[in-house]
């Protein structure tokens, strides 16, 4: 991997004298980046000189060391160039890495393109060289002055951010966003992998884990056939370096053929969301949020240890301040107004203009347009030094008698003067807007602060920081094991009845001392057996139809609740017997297993714990608020199995707020790993009584994978 970023010599094969061609632009990028001309070699059989450098007819003719070759040649010339690559690597032993920026390979989706990529990879492996691409930009390394891209307008300033992208266009967008700031934002590396025919996302992330120039990593991800390998690399990287991911594909509609709530509500995007949290990566929702989060982390803005984050807003602009307060109030889970000490409040009143509005409402000071730079400095310093303030947001609109440079210098002084009390504090200055505040924002950026472009972006960055702090507490970063795609992508297979499902799950959950058990239950095949069962389990009881053909009984009128006497039970039995005939038709006798009689659980909050075998991710565990809320206002939260105890507790806390359910989640996770014949598990609802006496799973559904048979334990419910 080193040869991609710090080659002793670099050849550009297909270098052109025509400035409009990529072969010229790549050579120009390397020169503009400061790569030594004496180690840069244009290769073009039709040229003797390109961009002032001597050109060579082929790779073998270059007399000096060449560790990296950048190929920008048309497909028809590929075979000849690959023959030279092998001859150079084998004969001279210096060539280590090849970047193929050209397209026309597997990304076309044609047989010809795929075959061309297979030949490319085979040739690289035969030569013993690593291949990046094809269909990529390659790399930029600001420390070693390598730039194999043909991007325009990129400022190659060293900084702590590294960016890895599956898309060259998103890589360009990212680099140009950093470069367009008033004081361009530095980065360490940009890595565009394209088709990933050889060098993969995990390898790029593993390389960055040991890169001393990189402190923060951004990843643009579209998809991969090896998610566990990728997530394992992210988990290892995120221990020491924050990882922010922009993952596209949120519109996935899920697998409609799934039988359970768990499967029906999964969809690959929801699983990606949970898996990224599991390995400690923060997933951004927008490109602005992605870049802003990387910027604030790169600027050394601390990730808060507490949540919600206590935020104070200081402004001299009334309307924009009110707008910002609305934005802050929209995130009560992560942000709340900071309350300052009475002494601080008095000092702020004394330091600000006479007409200032102080702490009306709490967490807000409007100094009005009469505020001077000196008043900005003193009030900001006082707020930064107050122990009740975690984050200070300053919002200023430069005006003729209060220019942006003066505001920026005042805030820089406040930050410097509060040095002794600002440990762990966040200062996000906001100067509005655009070119009218560019000079002031450049001053703030040079001072190590991170001015953002709008109140919306500032609030989004604060929420990201708060959630990153939560990730530090909940991420488990467990070993997810190898990728092993499963073969059960649909609802095929055998769906067990509730009685069979409880018989399968009961011993496992009890043996694991899970936080939930099943209510006392009996299976009756006649009214007399149902009445006897009710006497045994004790009234009040619930009566349910029990059949493999009726997985969701309540949805089709197959459940009767609150039966408090034999008369209630007798009437319910007759009603459900008639309903069974309607649902199951002439085969009712064969298809109806019986009537399930259960002791009715005490009222309480309801949660769901489930699992599924995903065709891409393998075994997956889910949890969330249950009952009728599933899929409505309460999406499920997912993790990949196997889960550690820490991971199970983290999922329970995130999804339900009930940490004790972690034992239940852990048992389900272990079962999915040990029983590859189980395709889905759905325990919904699990009732959590208000008296805290324990949880009861009052419904259960298990689907076995296609081609398997039930291996049931003896019922011990």
- pLDDT digit string (tens) for 132-187? 999 999 999 999 999 999 998 899 999 999 999 999 999 999 999 999 999 999 99
pTM of the full predicted structure? 0.91
- The DSSP 8-state label assigned to residue 632 in this structure reads T
| Confidence at residue 261, expressed as pLDDT on a 0 to 100 scale | 43
Q: Which two tokens mark 408?
A: 């920026």
* Structure confidence by residue, pLDDT tens digits, 473-519: 888 888 888 887 654 444 568 899 999 999 999 888 877 766 678 99
- The DSSP 8-state label assigned to residue 294 in this structure reads H
| Confidence at residue 660, expressed as pLDDT on a 0 to 100 scale | 78
Question: Can you tell me the distance from the alpha carbon of 25 to that of 19, in angstroms, rounded to the nearest whole number?
Answer: 6
DSSP H helices in 36-135:
78-91, 111-127
> Which stretches in the chain have pLDDT values below 50?
252-266, 487-490, 710-717
DSSP codes, 511-555: HTT-SEEPPPEEEESSHHHHHHHHHHH-SSEEEEEE-TT-S-TGG
Closest C-alpha among 172, 166, 170, 220 to residue 193: 166
Closest C-alpha among 115, 90, 88 to residue 104: 115
Q: Which residues contact 626 (CB under 8 A, 6 or more apart)?
A: 606, 607, 608, 634, 684, 685, 686
| Confidence at residue 253, expressed as pLDDT on a 0 to 100 scale | 42
| Confidence at residue 692, expressed as pLDDT on a 0 to 100 scale | 61
| Confidence at residue 187, expressed as pLDDT on a 0 to 100 scale | 98
Closest C-alpha among 328, 614, 662, 630 to residue 476: 662
Question: Can you tell me the distance from the alpha carbon of 288 to that of 441, in angstroms, rounded to the nearest whole number?
Answer: 17
Closest C-alpha among 59, 112, 49, 117 to residue 83: 59
Q: Which two tokens mark 210?
A: 């040991």
| Confidence at residue 678, expressed as pLDDT on a 0 to 100 scale | 93
Q: Which residues contact 444 (CB under 8 A, 6 or more apart)?
A: 408, 411, 412, 429, 431, 450, 451
Pairing of strands 138-141, 146-147: antiparallel
Question: How far is the CA of 235 from the CAs of 177, 232, 550, 627, 653, in angstroms?
Answer: 27, 5, 41, 33, 20
Question: Can you tell me the distance from the alpha carbon of 102 to that of 462, in angstroms, rounded to the nearest whole number?
Answer: 40
Q: Taken in order 414, 415, 417, 421, is the CA torsion positive or negative?
A: positive
Question: Can you tell me the distance from the alpha carbon of 448 to that of 26, in angstroms, rounded to the nearest whole number?
Answer: 32
Question: Can you tell me the distance from the alpha carbon of 289 to that of 465, in angstroms, rounded to the nearest whole number?
Answer: 11
Closest C-alpha among 237, 235, 158 to residue 205: 237
Pairing of strands 618-625, 604-614: antiparallel
Quickly tell me which residue has 């998809």 as its tokens: 223
Q: Bridge-partner residues for 613, per DSSP?
A: 619
Quickly tell me which residue has 């969330």 as its tokens: 624
DSSP codes, 296-346: HHHTTPPPPSSSSEEEEEEES-HHHHHHHHHHHHT-TTTEEEPPPPHHHHH
| Confidence at residue 488, expressed as pLDDT on a 0 to 100 scale | 46
Q: Which domains does the chain have, with CATH numbers?
A: 2-248 (3.40.50.720), 304-474 (3.40.50.261), 484-519+602-717 (3.30.470.20), 520-599 (3.30.1490.20)
Closest C-alpha among 268, 283, 286 to residue 638: 268
């Amino acid at each position: 991997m080193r040869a991609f970023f710090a080659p002793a010599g670099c050849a550009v094969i297909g270098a052109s004298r025509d400035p409009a061609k990529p072969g010229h632009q790549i050579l120009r990028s390397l020169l503009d980046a400061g790569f030594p001309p004496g180690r840069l070699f244009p290769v073009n059989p039709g040229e003797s000189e390109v961009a002032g450098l001597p050109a060579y007819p082929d790779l073998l003719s270059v007399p000096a060391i060449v560790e990296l070759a950048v190929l920008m040649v048309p497909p028809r010339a590929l075979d000849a160039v690959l023959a030279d690559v092998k001859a150079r690597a084998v004969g001279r032993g210096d060539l280590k890495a090849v970047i193929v920026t050209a397209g026309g390979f597997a990304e076309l989706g044609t047989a010809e393109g795929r075959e061309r990529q297979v030949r490319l990879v085979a040739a690289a492996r035969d030569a013993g060289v690593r291949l990046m691409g094809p269909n990529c930009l390659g790399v930029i390394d600001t420390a070693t002055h390598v730039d194999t891209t043909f991007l325009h307008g990129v400022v190659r300033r060293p900084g702590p951010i590294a960016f890895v992208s599956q898309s060259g266009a998103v890589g360009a967008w990212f680099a140009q966003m950093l470069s367009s700031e008033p004081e361009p934002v530095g980065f360490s590396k940009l890595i565009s992998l394209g088709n990933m025919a050889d060098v993969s996302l995990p390898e790029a992330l593993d390389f960055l884990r040991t890169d001393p120039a990189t402190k923060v990593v951004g990843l643009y991800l579209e998809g991969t056939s090896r998610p566990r390998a990728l997530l394992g690399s992210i988990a290892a990287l995120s221990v020491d370096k924050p990882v922010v991911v922009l993952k596209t594909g949120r519109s996935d509609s899920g697998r409609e053929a799934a039988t359970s709530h768990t499967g029906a509500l999964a969809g690959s995007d929801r699983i990606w969301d949970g898996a990224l949290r599991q390995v400690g990566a923060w997933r951004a929702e927008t490109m602005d949020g992605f870049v802003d989060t990387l910027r604030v982390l790169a600027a050394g803005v601390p990730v808060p240890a507490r949540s919600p984050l206590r935020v104070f807003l200081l402004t001299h602009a009334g309307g924009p301040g009110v707008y910002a307060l609305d934005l802050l109030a929209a995130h009560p889970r992560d942000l709340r107004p900071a309350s300052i000490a009475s002494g601080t409040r008095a000092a702020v009143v004394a330091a600000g203009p006479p007409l200032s509005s102080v702490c009306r409402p709490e967490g807000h000071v409007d100094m009005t347009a009469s505020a001077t730079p000196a008043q900005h400095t003193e009030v900001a310093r006082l707020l930064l030094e107050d122990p009740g303030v975690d984050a200070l947001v300053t919002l200023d609109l430069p005006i003729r008698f209060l220019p942006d440079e003066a505001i920026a210098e005042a805030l820089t002084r406040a930050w410097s003067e509060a040095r002794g009390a600002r440990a762990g504090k966040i200062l996000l200055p906001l100067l509005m807007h655009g070119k009218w505040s560019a000079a002031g924002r450049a001053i703030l950026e040079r001072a190590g602060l991170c001015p953002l472009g709008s109140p919306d972006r500032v609030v989004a960055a604060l929420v990201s920081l708060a959630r990153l702090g939560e990730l530090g507490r909940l991420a488990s970063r467990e070993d997810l094991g190898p990728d092993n795609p499963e073969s059960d992508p649909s609802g095929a297979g055998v769906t067990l009845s509730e009685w069979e499902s409880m018989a399968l799950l009961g011993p496992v959950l009890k043996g694991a001392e899970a936080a939930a058990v099943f209510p006392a239950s009996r299976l009756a095949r006649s009214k007399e057996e149902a009445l006897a069962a009710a006497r045994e389990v004790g009234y009040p009881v619930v009566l349910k139809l029990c059949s493999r053909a009726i997985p969701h009984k309540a949805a089709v009128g197959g459940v009767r609740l609150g039966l408090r006497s034999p008369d209630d039970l007798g009437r319910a039995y007759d009603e459900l017997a008639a309903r069974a005939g309607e649902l199951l038709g002439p085969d009712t006798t064969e298809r109806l297993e019986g009537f399930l009689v259960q002791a009715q659980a005490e009222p309480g909050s309801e949660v769901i714990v489930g699992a599924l075998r995903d065709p891409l991710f393998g075994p997956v565990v889910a949890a969330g608020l249950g009952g009728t809320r599933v899929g409505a206002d309460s999406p499920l939260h997912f993790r990949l199995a196997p889960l550690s105890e820490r991971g199970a507790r983290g999922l329970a806390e995130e999804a339900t707020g009930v940490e004790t359910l972690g034992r239940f989640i852990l048992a389900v996770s272990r079962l999915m790993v040990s029983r590859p014949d189980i395709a889905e598990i759905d325990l919904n609802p699990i009732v959590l009584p208000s008296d805290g006496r324990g949880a009861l799973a009052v419904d259960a559904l298990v689907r076995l994978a296609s081609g398997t048979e039930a291996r049931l334990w003896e019922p011990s419910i």
